[in-house]
Structure 1
Amino acid sequence: MSEPFLRVARPEDEEQLRHLDHATWSHVHAVTARPAPDEPFFRDTCGPADHLVAELDGRVVGYVRLGFPTPLPSNAHVRQIRGLAVADEARGKGVGRALVRAAVEEARKGGFRRITLRVLGHNTRARALYESEGFVVEGVQPEEFCLDGTYADDVLMGQKLT
Protein backbone atom coordinates (compact mmCIF):
# COMPACT_ATOMS: atom_id res chain seq x y z
CA MET A 1 0.00 0.00 0.00
CA SER A 2 1.29 3.47 -0.88
CA GLU A 3 1.62 6.65 1.18
CA PRO A 4 -1.61 8.57 1.75
CA PHE A 5 -2.30 11.33 -0.77
CA LEU A 6 -3.88 14.36 0.88
CA ARG A 7 -6.02 16.98 -0.80
CA VAL A 8 -8.92 19.34 -0.19
CA ALA A 9 -12.27 17.57 -0.45
CA ARG A 10 -14.42 17.97 -3.54
CA PRO A 11 -18.23 17.89 -3.83
CA GLU A 12 -17.99 14.53 -5.60
CA ASP A 13 -16.43 13.03 -2.42
CA GLU A 14 -19.83 13.31 -0.70
CA GLU A 15 -20.83 9.66 -1.03
CA GLN A 16 -17.47 8.18 -0.01
CA LEU A 17 -17.23 10.53 2.99
CA ARG A 18 -20.81 9.84 4.04
CA HIS A 19 -20.12 6.08 4.00
CA LEU A 20 -16.82 6.56 5.86
CA ASP A 21 -18.48 8.71 8.51
CA HIS A 22 -21.23 6.13 9.04
CA ALA A 23 -18.81 3.18 9.12
CA THR A 24 -16.37 4.76 11.58
CA TRP A 25 -18.94 6.21 14.00
CA SER A 26 -18.43 5.20 17.62
CA HIS A 27 -18.93 6.67 21.09
CA VAL A 28 -15.17 6.30 21.47
CA HIS A 29 -14.98 9.64 19.66
CA ALA A 30 -18.52 10.84 18.86
CA VAL A 31 -20.89 12.68 21.18
CA THR A 32 -23.69 12.78 18.62
CA ALA A 33 -25.94 9.98 17.40
CA ARG A 34 -24.77 7.75 14.54
CA PRO A 35 -25.50 9.56 11.26
CA ALA A 36 -28.23 8.05 9.15
CA PRO A 37 -26.88 6.25 6.05
CA ASP A 38 -28.46 8.89 3.79
CA GLU A 39 -27.59 11.91 5.95
CA PRO A 40 -25.55 14.43 3.93
CA PHE A 41 -21.89 14.68 4.87
CA PHE A 42 -21.37 18.24 3.64
CA ARG A 43 -23.52 20.96 5.18
CA ASP A 44 -23.86 24.72 4.88
CA THR A 45 -21.58 25.12 7.90
CA CYS A 46 -18.90 22.67 6.71
CA GLY A 47 -18.50 22.15 3.01
CA PRO A 48 -15.80 20.53 0.91
CA ALA A 49 -13.33 23.39 1.45
CA ASP A 50 -13.44 22.70 5.22
CA HIS A 51 -12.18 19.14 4.79
CA LEU A 52 -8.88 17.56 3.88
CA VAL A 53 -9.17 13.98 2.67
CA ALA A 54 -6.67 11.16 2.53
CA GLU A 55 -6.60 8.73 -0.36
CA LEU A 56 -4.85 5.39 -0.53
CA ASP A 57 -4.72 3.67 -3.89
CA GLY A 58 -7.23 6.20 -5.28
CA ARG A 59 -9.87 5.66 -2.57
CA VAL A 60 -10.88 8.11 0.18
CA VAL A 61 -9.86 6.48 3.50
CA GLY A 62 -9.91 9.43 5.89
CA TYR A 63 -10.72 13.05 6.51
CA VAL A 64 -10.09 15.90 8.88
CA ARG A 65 -12.70 18.64 9.29
CA LEU A 66 -11.46 22.16 10.05
CA GLY A 67 -13.54 24.97 11.44
CA PHE A 68 -13.59 27.66 14.07
CA PRO A 69 -14.28 27.31 17.79
CA THR A 70 -16.92 30.07 17.64
CA PRO A 71 -18.32 32.52 15.10
CA LEU A 72 -16.89 35.44 17.12
CA PRO A 73 -14.46 37.78 15.36
CA SER A 74 -12.44 37.98 18.60
CA ASN A 75 -11.18 34.41 18.17
CA ALA A 76 -11.06 34.20 14.38
CA HIS A 77 -7.29 33.70 14.76
CA VAL A 78 -7.92 30.15 16.05
CA ARG A 79 -8.52 27.16 13.78
CA GLN A 80 -10.13 24.04 15.21
CA ILE A 81 -10.05 20.38 14.24
CA ARG A 82 -13.74 19.52 14.36
CA GLY A 83 -13.60 15.93 13.15
CA LEU A 84 -11.18 13.19 12.15
CA ALA A 85 -11.96 9.75 10.77
CA VAL A 86 -9.89 6.95 9.26
CA ALA A 87 -11.31 3.82 7.62
CA ASP A 88 -10.65 0.64 9.60
CA GLU A 89 -8.58 -0.89 6.80
CA ALA A 90 -6.32 2.20 6.71
CA ARG A 91 -5.61 2.38 10.46
CA GLY A 92 -2.00 1.99 11.47
CA LYS A 93 -0.78 3.21 8.09
CA GLY A 94 -0.07 6.83 9.03
CA VAL A 95 -3.30 8.25 7.62
CA GLY A 96 -4.49 9.88 10.86
CA ARG A 97 -1.05 11.34 11.55
CA ALA A 98 -0.81 12.69 7.99
CA LEU A 99 -4.23 14.33 8.32
CA VAL A 100 -3.36 15.95 11.67
CA ARG A 101 -0.07 17.25 10.27
CA ALA A 102 -1.84 18.59 7.18
CA ALA A 103 -4.45 20.34 9.36
CA VAL A 104 -1.73 22.01 11.43
CA GLU A 105 0.16 23.05 8.29
CA GLU A 106 -3.03 24.37 6.68
CA ALA A 107 -3.73 26.48 9.76
CA ARG A 108 -0.14 27.71 9.89
CA LYS A 109 -0.20 28.66 6.19
CA GLY A 110 -3.54 30.41 6.74
CA GLY A 111 -1.92 32.73 9.30
CA PHE A 112 -3.75 31.33 12.33
CA ARG A 113 -2.08 31.77 15.72
CA ARG A 114 -3.46 28.59 17.33
CA ILE A 115 -5.10 25.30 16.49
CA THR A 116 -7.34 23.52 18.98
CA LEU A 117 -9.48 20.42 19.27
CA ARG A 118 -11.72 18.56 21.68
CA VAL A 119 -11.31 14.84 22.33
CA LEU A 120 -13.09 12.48 24.69
CA GLY A 121 -11.02 11.52 27.70
CA HIS A 122 -11.35 7.79 27.07
CA ASN A 123 -10.08 8.10 23.48
CA THR A 124 -6.49 7.34 24.46
CA ARG A 125 -5.36 6.44 20.94
CA ALA A 126 -6.42 9.83 19.54
CA ARG A 127 -5.03 11.70 22.55
CA ALA A 128 -1.65 9.99 22.09
CA LEU A 129 -1.63 10.91 18.40
CA TYR A 130 -2.46 14.56 19.12
CA GLU A 131 0.16 14.77 21.89
CA SER A 132 2.81 13.26 19.60
CA GLU A 133 1.98 16.00 17.08
CA GLY A 134 2.51 18.84 19.55
CA PHE A 135 -0.95 19.32 21.06
CA VAL A 136 -1.11 19.80 24.82
CA VAL A 137 -4.01 19.42 27.21
CA GLU A 138 -5.31 22.90 28.01
CA GLY A 139 -8.33 21.90 30.05
CA VAL A 140 -10.66 19.09 31.02
CA GLN A 141 -14.40 19.27 31.49
CA PRO A 142 -15.09 16.27 33.74
CA GLU A 143 -18.07 14.07 32.88
CA GLU A 144 -19.20 16.55 30.22
CA PHE A 145 -20.99 13.90 28.16
CA CYS A 146 -23.11 10.87 29.01
CA LEU A 147 -22.65 8.26 26.28
CA ASP A 148 -24.59 5.02 26.56
CA GLY A 149 -24.91 5.55 30.31
CA THR A 150 -21.20 6.24 30.87
CA TYR A 151 -19.87 9.69 31.67
CA ALA A 152 -16.95 10.95 29.58
CA ASP A 153 -14.58 13.86 30.04
CA ASP A 154 -14.18 16.47 27.31
CA VAL A 155 -10.46 17.17 26.91
CA LEU A 156 -9.48 20.47 25.33
CA MET A 157 -6.15 20.42 23.49
CA GLY A 158 -4.27 22.98 21.47
CA GLN A 159 -0.99 24.23 20.16
CA LYS A 160 0.48 27.59 19.32
CA LEU A 161 1.37 28.07 15.67
CA THR A 162 3.41 31.29 15.86
Structure 2
Amino acid sequence: MKVTGLEKERVCDFVAYCKKHRKELDDSYLYDSDLEEFEVTLENPTYVLINEQEEIIGAASFVLDDYHKRGKRARFRIFHSEMENIQFYQEMLQALLTHTTDLEKIFIFIPVTNKKLIEMIEGLKFSVERFSFLLVREDLEVPHVHLPDGYELRAFRPGEDEENWRQVRNAAFATLKGSETPITIEGVAELLTHQDYLEGGMMLLFHQGNPVGVIRGADDEYEDAPIMNIGPVAILPAYQGSGLGRILLRAALEFAKESGYRRTILSVNGENERAKALYIQEGFKQVEAVACYHYFV
Protein backbone atom coordinates (compact mmCIF):
# COMPACT_ATOMS: atom_id res chain seq x y z
CA MET A 1 0.00 0.00 0.00
CA LYS A 2 1.20 3.51 -0.73
CA VAL A 3 -0.10 7.06 -0.57
CA THR A 4 0.73 9.19 -3.57
CA GLY A 5 -0.30 12.48 -5.10
CA LEU A 6 -3.10 12.15 -7.65
CA GLU A 7 -1.72 12.29 -11.19
CA LYS A 8 -3.66 13.83 -14.05
CA GLU A 9 -3.77 10.48 -15.81
CA ARG A 10 -5.74 9.02 -12.89
CA VAL A 11 -8.32 11.75 -12.39
CA CYS A 12 -10.98 9.55 -14.00
CA ASP A 13 -10.18 6.77 -11.52
CA PHE A 14 -10.40 9.26 -8.64
CA VAL A 15 -13.76 10.53 -9.89
CA ALA A 16 -15.04 6.95 -10.14
CA TYR A 17 -13.91 6.31 -6.55
CA CYS A 18 -15.74 9.43 -5.34
CA LYS A 19 -18.95 8.40 -7.10
CA LYS A 20 -18.68 4.88 -5.68
CA HIS A 21 -18.52 6.09 -2.07
CA ARG A 22 -20.23 9.49 -2.00
CA LYS A 23 -23.49 8.16 -0.52
CA GLU A 24 -21.55 7.19 2.60
CA LEU A 25 -20.15 10.72 2.96
CA ASP A 26 -21.02 14.38 2.93
CA ASP A 27 -21.36 14.83 -0.84
CA SER A 28 -21.40 18.65 -0.94
CA TYR A 29 -18.42 18.68 -3.32
CA LEU A 30 -19.00 15.28 -4.91
CA TYR A 31 -21.89 16.05 -7.23
CA ASP A 32 -21.52 15.07 -10.87
CA SER A 33 -21.15 18.75 -11.84
CA ASP A 34 -18.26 19.17 -9.35
CA LEU A 35 -16.50 15.99 -10.40
CA GLU A 36 -16.86 16.70 -14.11
CA GLU A 37 -14.85 19.90 -13.62
CA PHE A 38 -12.33 18.44 -11.18
CA GLU A 39 -8.67 19.09 -11.94
CA VAL A 40 -5.47 18.58 -9.97
CA THR A 41 -4.61 22.15 -8.94
CA LEU A 42 -3.34 24.07 -5.92
CA GLU A 43 -7.00 24.59 -4.96
CA ASN A 44 -7.60 20.83 -5.05
CA PRO A 45 -4.64 19.08 -3.35
CA THR A 46 -5.46 15.37 -3.61
CA TYR A 47 -3.82 12.11 -2.57
CA VAL A 48 -4.85 8.52 -3.17
CA LEU A 49 -4.14 5.21 -1.47
CA ILE A 50 -2.96 2.60 -3.97
CA ASN A 51 -2.85 -1.18 -3.47
CA GLU A 52 -0.47 -3.72 -4.99
CA GLN A 53 -2.65 -3.93 -8.12
CA GLU A 54 -2.34 -0.14 -8.58
CA GLU A 55 -6.03 0.32 -7.76
CA ILE A 56 -7.30 3.32 -5.82
CA ILE A 57 -8.65 2.11 -2.49
CA GLY A 58 -8.57 5.43 -0.61
CA ALA A 59 -8.70 9.15 -1.33
CA ALA A 60 -8.14 12.41 0.51
CA SER A 61 -8.76 15.79 -1.08
CA PHE A 62 -9.08 19.41 0.11
CA VAL A 63 -11.26 22.23 -1.13
CA LEU A 64 -8.83 25.12 -0.84
CA ASP A 65 -10.43 27.90 -2.88
CA ASP A 66 -10.22 31.64 -2.23
CA TYR A 67 -13.12 31.68 0.25
CA HIS A 68 -11.63 28.95 2.43
CA LYS A 69 -8.12 30.39 2.25
CA ARG A 70 -9.39 33.78 3.41
CA GLY A 71 -10.91 31.99 6.38
CA LYS A 72 -7.53 30.26 6.98
CA ARG A 73 -9.05 26.80 6.71
CA ALA A 74 -9.48 23.93 4.29
CA ARG A 75 -12.48 21.64 3.86
CA PHE A 76 -12.27 18.00 2.93
CA ARG A 77 -13.88 17.09 -0.37
CA ILE A 78 -13.36 13.43 0.47
CA PHE A 79 -11.51 11.52 3.18
CA HIS A 80 -12.18 7.81 2.81
CA SER A 81 -10.48 4.43 2.64
CA GLU A 82 -11.87 1.03 1.79
CA MET A 83 -9.31 -0.34 4.24
CA GLU A 84 -10.54 0.40 7.77
CA ASN A 85 -7.08 1.01 9.12
CA ILE A 86 -6.25 4.23 10.93
CA GLN A 87 -2.66 4.05 9.67
CA PHE A 88 -3.83 4.65 6.10
CA TYR A 89 -5.94 7.61 7.20
CA GLN A 90 -2.95 8.96 9.10
CA GLU A 91 -0.72 8.71 6.03
CA MET A 92 -3.24 10.49 3.79
CA LEU A 93 -3.76 13.19 6.41
CA GLN A 94 -0.03 13.81 6.76
CA ALA A 95 0.28 14.18 2.99
CA LEU A 96 -2.50 16.79 2.92
CA LEU A 97 -1.11 18.69 5.89
CA THR A 98 1.86 19.71 3.72
CA HIS A 99 -0.63 22.05 1.98
CA THR A 100 -1.77 23.85 5.12
CA THR A 101 0.86 26.60 5.33
CA ASP A 102 -0.84 29.80 6.60
CA LEU A 103 -3.99 27.87 7.54
CA GLU A 104 -5.38 27.55 11.06
CA LYS A 105 -7.55 24.46 10.75
CA ILE A 106 -9.06 21.83 8.49
CA PHE A 107 -12.59 20.46 8.78
CA ILE A 108 -14.86 17.73 7.51
CA PHE A 109 -18.59 16.99 7.65
CA ILE A 110 -19.55 13.39 8.41
CA PRO A 111 -23.07 11.89 8.50
CA VAL A 112 -23.68 10.81 12.09
CA THR A 113 -24.66 7.37 10.75
CA ASN A 114 -21.11 6.78 9.42
CA LYS A 115 -19.76 5.41 12.70
CA LYS A 116 -16.65 3.88 11.11
CA LEU A 117 -15.40 7.16 9.64
CA ILE A 118 -16.18 8.98 12.87
CA GLU A 119 -14.09 6.42 14.74
CA MET A 120 -11.16 7.03 12.39
CA ILE A 121 -11.49 10.81 12.59
CA GLU A 122 -11.64 10.83 16.37
CA GLY A 123 -8.65 8.50 16.43
CA LEU A 124 -6.75 11.17 14.50
CA LYS A 125 -7.60 13.71 17.24
CA PHE A 126 -10.28 15.63 15.33
CA SER A 127 -12.95 17.12 17.60
CA VAL A 128 -16.59 18.10 17.04
CA GLU A 129 -17.11 21.78 16.24
CA ARG A 130 -20.85 21.70 15.60
CA PHE A 131 -23.75 19.72 14.17
CA SER A 132 -25.77 20.53 11.09
CA PHE A 133 -29.17 19.23 10.03
CA LEU A 134 -30.62 18.64 6.58
CA LEU A 135 -34.33 19.34 6.25
CA VAL A 136 -36.71 18.55 3.38
CA ARG A 137 -40.16 19.92 2.60
CA GLU A 138 -42.50 17.88 0.43
CA ASP A 139 -44.97 19.29 -2.09
CA LEU A 140 -47.20 21.16 0.35
CA GLU A 141 -49.30 24.27 -0.05
CA VAL A 142 -47.39 27.53 0.43
CA PRO A 143 -48.96 30.22 2.64
CA HIS A 144 -49.43 33.57 0.95
CA VAL A 145 -46.52 36.01 1.19
CA HIS A 146 -47.64 39.29 2.76
CA LEU A 147 -45.15 42.15 2.93
CA PRO A 148 -45.50 44.79 5.67
CA ASP A 149 -45.80 48.42 4.61
CA GLY A 150 -42.50 49.91 3.50
CA TYR A 151 -41.01 46.59 2.37
CA GLU A 152 -40.23 45.39 -1.15
CA LEU A 153 -39.10 41.95 -2.31
CA ARG A 154 -37.54 41.63 -5.74
CA ALA A 155 -35.23 39.46 -7.80
CA PHE A 156 -31.48 40.03 -7.79
CA ARG A 157 -30.32 42.46 -10.50
CA PRO A 158 -26.91 41.42 -11.89
CA GLY A 159 -24.51 44.32 -12.02
CA GLU A 160 -26.50 46.28 -9.41
CA ASP A 161 -27.15 44.14 -6.35
CA GLU A 162 -23.81 42.44 -5.70
CA GLU A 163 -22.86 44.94 -2.99
CA ASN A 164 -26.34 44.83 -1.41
CA TRP A 165 -26.16 41.05 -1.22
CA ARG A 166 -22.63 41.09 0.19
CA GLN A 167 -23.50 43.55 2.95
CA VAL A 168 -26.59 41.70 4.16
CA ARG A 169 -25.09 38.22 3.99
CA ASN A 170 -21.88 39.20 5.80
CA ALA A 171 -23.66 41.15 8.55
CA ALA A 172 -26.18 38.35 9.14
CA PHE A 173 -23.56 35.58 9.30
CA ALA A 174 -20.75 37.43 11.10
CA THR A 175 -21.04 35.17 14.16
CA LEU A 176 -22.52 32.03 12.59
CA LYS A 177 -20.14 29.08 12.99
CA GLY A 178 -18.74 27.99 9.65
CA SER A 179 -19.93 31.11 7.82
CA GLU A 180 -17.95 33.83 9.61
CA THR A 181 -15.66 34.41 6.62
CA PRO A 182 -17.16 37.30 4.63
CA ILE A 183 -17.86 36.83 0.97
CA THR A 184 -16.60 39.28 -1.64
CA ILE A 185 -18.43 41.02 -4.46
CA GLU A 186 -16.64 38.62 -6.80
CA GLY A 187 -17.96 35.73 -4.72
CA VAL A 188 -21.51 37.01 -5.08
CA ALA A 189 -21.07 37.40 -8.84
CA GLU A 190 -19.86 33.79 -9.07
CA LEU A 191 -23.24 32.61 -7.75
CA LEU A 192 -24.71 33.76 -11.05
CA THR A 193 -22.40 31.48 -13.03
CA HIS A 194 -22.83 28.26 -11.02
CA GLN A 195 -24.53 25.35 -12.73
CA ASP A 196 -27.17 25.38 -9.98
CA TYR A 197 -28.19 28.99 -10.71
CA LEU A 198 -31.91 29.58 -11.26
CA GLU A 199 -33.07 32.75 -12.98
CA GLY A 200 -35.08 34.70 -10.40
CA GLY A 201 -34.00 32.40 -7.56
CA MET A 202 -31.90 35.06 -5.83
CA MET A 203 -34.10 37.60 -4.04
CA LEU A 204 -33.52 40.65 -1.87
CA LEU A 205 -35.80 42.24 0.72
CA PHE A 206 -35.71 46.03 1.06
CA HIS A 207 -37.07 48.30 3.77
CA GLN A 208 -37.58 51.87 2.68
CA GLY A 209 -35.08 51.32 -0.09
CA ASN A 210 -32.38 49.71 2.05
CA PRO A 211 -31.43 46.01 1.71
CA VAL A 212 -32.27 44.04 4.86
CA GLY A 213 -32.58 40.41 3.72
CA VAL A 214 -31.49 37.92 1.05
CA ILE A 215 -32.45 34.40 0.04
CA ARG A 216 -31.40 32.05 -2.74
CA GLY A 217 -33.05 29.07 -4.37
CA ALA A 218 -30.77 26.81 -6.43
CA ASP A 219 -31.15 23.66 -8.50
CA ASP A 220 -30.11 20.52 -6.63
CA GLU A 221 -30.66 16.78 -6.43
CA TYR A 222 -31.60 14.61 -3.48
CA GLU A 223 -32.25 10.87 -3.52
CA ASP A 224 -31.74 10.89 -7.30
CA ALA A 225 -34.58 13.38 -7.87
CA PRO A 226 -34.64 17.14 -8.59
CA ILE A 227 -35.06 19.43 -5.60
CA MET A 228 -34.58 23.14 -4.96
CA ASN A 229 -31.94 24.02 -2.37
CA ILE A 230 -32.71 27.09 -0.24
CA GLY A 231 -29.85 29.09 1.22
CA PRO A 232 -28.64 31.43 2.40
CA VAL A 233 -31.57 32.83 4.34
CA ALA A 234 -30.12 36.01 5.82
CA ILE A 235 -31.64 38.99 7.65
CA LEU A 236 -29.72 41.96 9.07
CA PRO A 237 -29.34 41.55 12.85
CA ALA A 238 -31.40 44.67 13.58
CA TYR A 239 -34.34 43.18 11.67
CA GLN A 240 -34.17 39.63 13.02
CA GLY A 241 -37.00 38.32 15.16
CA SER A 242 -39.68 40.30 13.34
CA GLY A 243 -41.01 37.60 11.01
CA LEU A 244 -39.02 38.62 7.94
CA GLY A 245 -37.21 35.28 7.75
CA ARG A 246 -40.58 33.55 7.42
CA ILE A 247 -41.54 35.94 4.62
CA LEU A 248 -38.31 35.22 2.73
CA LEU A 249 -38.72 31.47 3.22
CA ARG A 250 -42.29 31.50 1.91
CA ALA A 251 -41.21 33.58 -1.08
CA ALA A 252 -38.57 30.94 -1.90
CA LEU A 253 -41.12 28.15 -1.49
CA GLU A 254 -43.50 29.98 -3.81
CA PHE A 255 -40.71 30.40 -6.36
CA ALA A 256 -39.93 26.68 -6.14
CA LYS A 257 -43.55 25.76 -6.80
CA GLU A 258 -43.75 28.14 -9.76
CA SER A 259 -40.51 26.64 -11.09
CA GLY A 260 -41.90 23.10 -11.01
CA TYR A 261 -40.07 21.73 -7.97
CA ARG A 262 -42.05 19.29 -5.84
CA ARG A 263 -39.59 19.38 -2.93
CA THR A 264 -37.22 21.85 -1.29
CA ILE A 265 -34.18 21.25 0.90
CA LEU A 266 -32.04 23.34 3.24
CA SER A 267 -29.47 22.93 6.01
CA VAL A 268 -29.27 24.62 9.39
CA ASN A 269 -26.64 24.75 12.13
CA GLY A 270 -27.53 22.86 15.27
CA GLU A 271 -27.07 25.88 17.53
CA ASN A 272 -29.45 27.96 15.39
CA GLU A 273 -32.51 26.63 17.19
CA ARG A 274 -34.77 29.53 16.25
CA ALA A 275 -34.15 29.04 12.54
CA LYS A 276 -34.69 25.29 12.78
CA ALA A 277 -37.96 25.82 14.64
CA LEU A 278 -39.12 28.18 11.89
CA TYR A 279 -38.35 25.67 9.16
CA ILE A 280 -40.22 22.90 10.96
CA GLN A 281 -43.21 25.20 11.48
CA GLU A 282 -43.20 25.84 7.73
CA GLY A 283 -43.41 22.13 6.90
CA PHE A 284 -39.78 20.96 6.74
CA LYS A 285 -38.74 17.66 8.30
CA GLN A 286 -35.26 16.61 9.39
CA VAL A 287 -33.85 13.86 7.16
CA GLU A 288 -30.15 13.84 8.00
CA ALA A 289 -27.69 15.02 10.64
CA VAL A 290 -23.99 15.60 10.10
CA ALA A 291 -21.18 16.39 12.50
CA CYS A 292 -18.54 18.95 11.61
CA TYR A 293 -15.15 17.82 12.92
CA HIS A 294 -12.18 20.18 12.95
CA TYR A 295 -8.44 19.78 13.43
CA PHE A 296 -6.14 22.68 14.27
CA VAL A 297 -2.94 22.74 12.30
Alignment TM-score, normalising by the size of structure 1: 0.75
Task: Identify the residue that residue 110 of structure 1 maps to in structure 2.
Answer: 259
8 Å contact kept, 1:61–1:87: yes
Q: Where in structure 1 are there 5+ consecutive unaligned residues? A: 150-162
Contact 1:21 1:85 in 2 (8 A): yes
Tell whether 2:216 aligns with 1:65: yes
- Alignment of 1:17 onto 2:168: no
Aligned residues: 143
Deviation, 1:96, is: 0.8
Mapped to 1, the partners of 2:282 and 2:273 lie a distance apart of 14
Which stretches in structure 2 are left out of the alignment for 5+ residues?
Answer: 1-147
SS at match of 2:230: strand
- SS of 2:220 mapped into structure 1: coil
CA distance in 2, matches of 1:123, 1:50: 24
- Give the equivalent residue in structure 2 for 1:96: 245
Q: How does 1:109-148 map to 2 (within 5 A)?
A: 109-141=258-290, 143-146=291-294
Measure the CA separation in 1 of the matches of 2:185 and 2:156: 19
Q: How much does 1:47 deviate?
A: 7.9
Deviations 1:50-109 (A, max 9, x none): 311111111111011111235x9x53x310102111011211222111000001111011
Q: Which has the larger radius of gyration?
A: 2
TM-fit CA distance, 1:112: 0.6
1:144, CA displacement in angstroms? 2.8
Structure 2 equivalent of residue 8 of structure 1: 155
Instruction: Tell me the distance in 1 between the aligned counterparts of 2:275 and 2:231.
Output: 13
The residue matched to 1:61 in structure 2 has which SS?
Answer: strand
Are the structure 2 counterparts of residues 36 and 51 from structure 1 closer, same or farther at C-alpha, using a change threshold of 3 Å?
closer
TM-score w.r.t. length of structure 2:
0.43
- CA 1:113/1:136 → structure 2, altered by over 3 Å: closer, same or farther? same
Q: Which amino acid aligns with 2:210?
A: R
Note if contact 2:205-2:212 (Cα within 8 Å) is conserved in structure 1: yes
**Deviations 1:99-141, CA, capped at 9 Å, x for gaps:** 0000111101111110010111111011011111111111212
Instruction: Report the secondary structure of 1:116's partner residue.
Output: strand
Report the secondary structure of 2:171's partner residue. helix
Matching residue within 193, 202, 211 for 1:51: 202
Deviation of the 1:24 alpha carbon:
1.8
Q: Distance in 2 between matches of 1:68 and 1:145?
A: 27
Cα pair 1:22 1:37 within 8 Å, conserved: no
Whether contact under 8 Å (1:9, 1:48) holds in the other structure is: no
Q: Is the 8 A contact 1:10 1:48 kept in 2?
A: no
Change (3 A) 1:57 1:101: same
Taking a change above 3 Å as real, the CA distance of residues 38 and 105 of structure 1, as seen in their structure-2 partners, is closer
Identical residues among aligned pairs (%): 30
SS at 1:68 equivalent: strand
Q: State whether residues 152 and 206 of structure 2, in contact with CA within 8 Å, keep that contact through their aligned partners in structure 1.
A: yes
Amino acid at match of 2:163: E
